[in-house]
Structure 1
Amino acid sequence: MTLSLGPQSAPAVDADVDTLRAALRHQASTVTVVTAPGAPPVGFTATSFTSVSLDPPLVSFCLDVGSTSWPTVSTSRHVAVHLLGEGQRDLAQRFATGGIDRFAAPTRWRPGPEGVPILDGTLAWLLCRVVERVVAGDHVIVLAEPELVRPADAGSPLLRHQGRYVGLDQTGPDRA
């Protein structure tokens, strides 16, 4: 089906996988790394992280059920969500790469509360208790309650936009 909305806009087309992916590349997303305890520990880059509720405090992220991290996350009681800073493109790429030991050097980390791996030097991190897992298509939405937070002192977030890692342009006219 094609729907035209007038001479100034491109026609709307069916939302197949490729056109949906192309449209969603225009959304800028915060880049996070989610870690979970295990033997070995697991971690992955996620751009689906969002705040869900402040009362009660809840956050969420999504994970592909075919991911090598899913078996561990599917049974983990706790996870950590690390918000990456603008200068952490290499860390984001490392945790997005399959078939490697993501926790080997140069990754700096330590075991945190509940045995959850905590990455050093991230903009902020949240230690969260998993409260629910909701299957949604080929992904699972993980809802979690933050129990500990190490907020950022300062810094700009790393974003994902148009298939690339980018930072905020803080020199534009909207900067106060």
Structure 2
Amino acid sequence: MIGSEDFKAAFRLHPAGVALITADPGGAPVAFTASSVSAVSADPPLAMFSVSVLSSSAEVLRRTDTVVIHLLSAKNLDLAQLGAARGVDRFADTTRWHRLPTGEPVFDAADTWLRLRILHRVDAGGSAVFVGTAIESQVAQDADSDGLVYRNRTWHRLGAASAIRVPELADAAGRR
């Protein structure tokens, strides 16, 4: 078995999409940035994410039935940084977010978000893994902004200039 430092070093080099996750089971809302978000299944629509058990959001997530996963683009770097900051009130600027009719906080600048009902909570080492079914979503009509990824402790923009064209795959897709 490898040590935790070797494991973290390997995953630092693996780019991951960036999301802001919000929840409020009653009381004070929480928000945190995550790069552990993944689609699990399209039918039924399931997604998952994890959070460190040491996170200030972990206890709130154990009590909530629903969360909102904001899938961030490069234009949302400020939201990613807000969710990653320590010791700040992420909801202080009330002009940046609103509550859904069901109570969850949503940041308005995010073009794409999914509201999930939590189905499973799994303790996994120093983290908790959450799996939920998507019960509501928003994808803006013009949601074609450059992607935001995190790699090696740095934010990166994915856009047309970073695309790698693979002729065989592009040709095969055109013949279908």
Give the shorter-chain TM-score range. 0.7 to 0.9
- Counterpart selection for 1:166 from 138, 153, 156: 156
Question: What is the CA RMSD across the aligned residues, in angstroms?
Answer: 1.7
Query: Is the CA contact (8 Å cut-off) linking 1:59 and 1:143 kept in structure 2?
Result: yes
- Counterpart selection for 2:14 from 23, 27, 46: 27
Query: Is the CA contact (8 Å cut-off) linking 2:123 and 2:129 kept in structure 1?
Result: yes
Which residue of structure 1 lines up, in the alignment, with residue 131 of structure 2? 143
Which residue of structure 1 lines up, in the alignment, with residue 174 of structure 2? none
Query: Is the CA contact (8 Å cut-off) linking 1:91 and 1:107 kept in structure 2?
Result: no
Which residue of structure 2 lines up, in the alignment, with residue 64 of structure 1? 52
Amino acid at match of 1:15: I
TM-score normalised over the length of structure 2: 0.86
Amino acid at match of 1:94: L
Q: CA offsets, 1:26-61, max 9 Å, x none?
A: 111000000001321001000000000112211000
Query: Is the CA contact (8 Å cut-off) linking 1:157 and 1:167 kept in structure 2?
Result: yes
Q: Matched residues, percent identical?
A: 34
Which residue of structure 2 lines up, in the alignment, with residue 80 of structure 1? 68
1:113 shift after superposition = 3.5
Aligned length: 163
Is structure 2 residue 117 aligned with structure 1 residue 115?
A: no
**Structure 2 residue ranges without an equivalent (≥5):** 171-176
TM-score normalised over the length of structure 1: 0.86
**Partners in 2 of 1:107 and 1:74 — Cα distance?**
28
**Partners in 1 of 2:114 and 2:4 — Cα distance?**
32
CA 1:138/1:51 → structure 2, altered by over 3 Å: closer, same or farther?
same
**Partners in 1 of 2:146 and 2:39 — Cα distance?**
18
CA 1:170/1:99 → structure 2, altered by over 3 Å: closer, same or farther?
same
**Partners in 2 of 1:30 and 1:56 — Cα distance?**
22
Structure richer in helix, relative to its length: 2
**Partners in 1 of 2:153 and 2:51 — Cα distance?**
18
Amino acid at match of 2:149: L
CA 1:113/1:25 → structure 2, altered by over 3 Å: closer, same or farther?
same
1:100 shift after superposition = 1.0
- Shift >2 Å, 4+ stretches: 172-176
**Partners in 1 of 2:95 and 2:63 — Cα distance?**
24
